Chains A and B, each alone.
Chain A
Amino acid sequence: MTRLLEVWGDTVDSRHLAVSVGIGVVIPVPVFLIAEQFFTANVENPALGKSYALLAGLVGCLVAALVAGRLFKPKRVVRAQDVVDEASQRAALDAIVAESGELGDPGDLAKPIQDELHALGLYDVLLADHRRRREAAALEEQAPATGSIQETDPETPDAAYAQGHGK
């Protein structure tokens, strides 16, 4: 059986997690307790002595993180995505149109935004897509009753998801 688990938003190995939590207890806690004994005995102001002990405990936590980080590598596979995928680009354009109406003619934008698009190499992509959509719309008008109507979902999924994370 796999030992990989999803805990607190990322993948971990269950045994590595257990050892890491163990390290997180075994290093900082004794450091704090010993420091508390030492500082409350040797510092006049007891509140200040406890603060020093807390600081020592924090350093213990950092040491624990370094040790566990040394022992265990992340369970992630990272791939470099260097080339723009034309298929996903087209899918993104479709999604933009489906979610919020239209893409628009980039030629209608203000000059600085047009410059920005030229610099990104996106101007021609957007223009071609806009023309393609206009032609498709024109064709559909010529042949009525055969075209399908694209339904749009008014509630974007991200908004619905985010509402749940009430903060």
Chain B
Amino acid sequence: MSPDFISALLWAISMGLVGAVVFAAIGLVSGTDETATVAPLTLLVVLLGVPAPGVFTFFLAGVVAKHITHMIPTTLLGIPGDTMAVPMMREAQLLRELGVPHIALRKAISGGVIAAFIAVPFAVLFATLLTPAADAIGKAAPWIFLVVAAFIAYTSKGKWAAVVALVPFVLLIAGLQAFAVQNTGKSLSISFFLGIATGPLIAALFTTLSPGRKSMVRSGPREFSLAADVRTWKGRLPNPFSVLDRKQLAFTSGAAVVSSATFVFSPVAMTVLMGEVAGQRIKNGYHRLTSVIAVRNGTTESTYIAETLIPLIALGLPLSPLAAGPAAPLFNAPPVYTVNAETGETNNLHNLLSTWEFLGFGLIAVAIATLIAYPFAMTHAHRAASWVMRKVSHEAIIGAFIGLIIVISLYEGGVVALLVTVSVGLIGGLLNNAFHVHSGVQFMGFYVAILSVPQILALVG
């Protein structure tokens, strides 16, 4: 083994561990949206100069671990751990009322682990099938981004309102970019990402200072009832294969394979759909609930893995809802990773890692996340949920996030960048609240402004 390889491997393992631990902890905190947490922290890791294998395993082990521990608040407290946990709320609630929340948790996380291991090799396979078309896709990228942006907007809850809202949003970005270039001499991108990712928070903070605050007032603290967690096994921790029965294994694996191929669709939509398909084929009520929750959580893992890996391996361009969201910094994080707006040339993980490295490091990342988060969720779910609810104040989390947003903006371009982040965050957050133009649509809007708009202007002459 060459020293280079050993160094890459050490980076991959150590950063995978960091990602798994950090995001397993974040998963416990309910409502921590993936884009708002994964994108800024991954960006930080890229900017700090961590080598490509470490960046990749940090991200992948992070999302896999988060989608294991996000089931803890979802099943034991009845509040979604994050956006991807929302489609499992109903099953989790019914199983909780039946008195078996711990079974909901174990079925879901076992489904997640199995789907994650299946998704990595299948995503690599589908990516290699797509690779021959990569050149053509790369050349047509500015137009593809335009079409995909409209598609993602139309398939969001905002429908046509989201499609039309893209126009002023793209203009806003183009205008702010021109302002930034004029005043700092360089174009910005991190600040735009950060504003989009944390828009809902920024808009909410503005609302607390406005008359709209009335709608936020609560008469008392939020009440939660924390379900008991029962250990039903003796001796060694049960492995995911023994937690699920044969039918559940088959459905979970099948859903993982199918959802690995459909990398341009919304992960939430795929998660809902895969659960419905499995649910319709199972008659018994109890068996249906436990199967659907396993299949759905498995799909949260497989969509996240495939929607990141396929565009990374085959294209290098962020052409999936995930790539234009939580995984955005793996594609574009100047000055470290770049996508050239004029030529479409890339210098990011696509160029820095080979297909085999994606496969190998991907499996390492999933293994690390499983080793950290699965035993933790199986044995300490109740205590962890209780500790977070009683000790971690929401005020402290928001305060630290605001600090992080300011520091990263200042890092990219001083006060001008900070103003850009706040502007994009406020407008983007309001578009999200008022018209359901979610962050995925806005990320695509950013790429349309950077890649497609110059081409359109050139055509118009």
A29 and B410 form a contact (CB under 8 A): yes
**B94 contact set on A, CB distance < 8 A:** 92, 95-96
Q: What's the nearest-Cβ distance from chain A to residue B3, in Å?
A: 22
Contact partner, B406, options A28, A77, A102, A159, Cβ 8 Å: A28
Complex CA distance for A62 and B89, rounded to whole angstroms: 31
Complex CA distance for A80 and B220, rounded to whole angstroms: 19
B285 and A29 form a contact (CB under 8 A): no
B145-179 contacts to A, CB under 8 A, are: 152, 155-158
Interface: B131 (CB within 8 A): no
A25 and B225 form a contact (CB under 8 A): no
B272 and A24 form a contact (CB under 8 A): no
Complex CA distance for A157 and B396, rounded to whole angstroms: 33
Closest residue of chain B to A56, judged by CB? B407
Complex CA distance for A128 and B247, rounded to whole angstroms: 25
Please, what's the 1-or-0 string for B237-275, where 1 marks a CB less than 8 Å from any CB in chain A?
000000001110000000000000000001111011000
Q: What's the nearest-Cβ distance from chain A to residue B429, in Å?
A: 10
Interface: B125 (CB within 8 A): no
B288 and A162 form a contact (CB under 8 A): no
Closest residue of chain A to B153, judged by CB? A166
Interface: B4 (CB within 8 A): no
Q: A47-B335, A157-B90 are in contact. Are A108 and B398 (CB under 8 A)?
A: no
Closest residue of chain B to A20, judged by CB? B399
**A92 contact set on B, CB distance < 8 A:** 94, 97-98
**A119 contact set on B, CB distance < 8 A:** 232
Interface: B216 (CB within 8 A): yes
**A167 contact set on B, CB distance < 8 A:** 34-35, 83-84, 266-268, 321, 325, 438-440
Interface: A144 (CB within 8 A): no
**A161 contact set on B, CB distance < 8 A:** 86, 89
A80 and B99 form a contact (CB under 8 A): no
Stretch at the interface among B54-62, B360-368, B386-394: B386-394
Closest residue of chain A to B300, judged by CB? A167
A87-138 contacts to B, CB under 8 A, are: 88-89, 91-93, 95-97, 99-106, 108-110, 112-113, 116-117, 119-120, 122, 126
Interface: B143 (CB within 8 A): no
Interface: B228 (CB within 8 A): yes
Q: A17-B398, A20-B395, A23-B399 are in contact. Are A11 and B218 (CB under 8 A)?
A: yes
B90 and A21 form a contact (CB under 8 A): no
**B403 contact set on A, CB distance < 8 A:** 24-25, 27-29, 57, 60-61, 64
A7 and B225 form a contact (CB under 8 A): no
Q: A58-B44, A103-B284 are in contact. Are A166 and B438 (CB under 8 A)?
A: yes
Interface: B7 (CB within 8 A): no
**A164 contact set on B, CB distance < 8 A:** 157, 436
Interface: A6 (CB within 8 A): yes
Please, what's the 1-or-0 string for A68-87, where 1 marks a CB less than 8 Å from any CB in chain B?
11001111111111101100
Q: A29-B403, A77-B222, A167-B34 are in contact. Are A20 and B48 (CB under 8 A)?
A: no
Q: A58-B404, A122-B100 are in contact. Are A79 and B223 (CB under 8 A)?
A: yes
Interface: B372 (CB within 8 A): no
Interface: A37 (CB within 8 A): no
Contact partner, A2, options B90, B217, B226, B286, Cβ 8 Å: B217
B279 and A53 form a contact (CB under 8 A): no
A24 and B87 form a contact (CB under 8 A): no
Closest residue of chain A to B230, judged by CB? A120
Closest residue of chain B to A52, judged by CB? B48
Q: What's the nearest-Cβ distance from chain A to residue B224, in Å?
A: 5
A122 and B99 form a contact (CB under 8 A): yes
B411 and A32 form a contact (CB under 8 A): yes
Q: What's the nearest-Cβ distance from chain B to residue A133, in Å?
A: 11
A159 and B272 form a contact (CB under 8 A): yes
Most buried by A among B286, B287, B411, B441: B286
**B225 contact set on A, CB distance < 8 A:** 78-81
Contact partner, A74, options B269, B391, B406, Cβ 8 Å: B391
Complex CA distance for A156 and B292, rounded to whole angstroms: 13
Interface: B401 (CB within 8 A): yes
Q: What's the nearest-Cβ distance from chain B to residue A7, in Å?
A: 5
Chain B residues in the interface with A (C-beta under 8 A): 30-31, 34-35, 44, 47-49, 83-84, 86-91, 94, 97-100, 103, 152, 155-158, 200-201, 204-205, 208, 213, 216-228, 232, 245-247, 266-269, 271-272, 276, 279, 283-289, 321, 325, 335, 386, 389-404, 406-408, 410-411, 436, 438-441
User: What are the nearest 7 A-B pairs in CB distance?
Assistant: A9-B31, A20-B399, A84-B99, A24-B399, A92-B97, A57-B407, A104-B284
A12-B398, A81-B226 given; 17 more Cβ-contact pairs under 8 Å: A1-B217, A2-B220, A4-B220, A6-B217, A7-B208, A21-B399, A29-B407, A47-B49, A48-B49, A57-B411, A72-B395, A74-B390, A82-B228, A104-B284, A106-B286, A167-B267, A167-B325
> Can you report 12 A-B residue pairs in the complex whose CB atoms are below 8 A from each other?
A2-B218, A4-B221, A5-B208, A7-B205, A12-B398, A21-B398, A28-B404, A110-B245, A159-B276, A161-B86, A162-B271, A167-B35
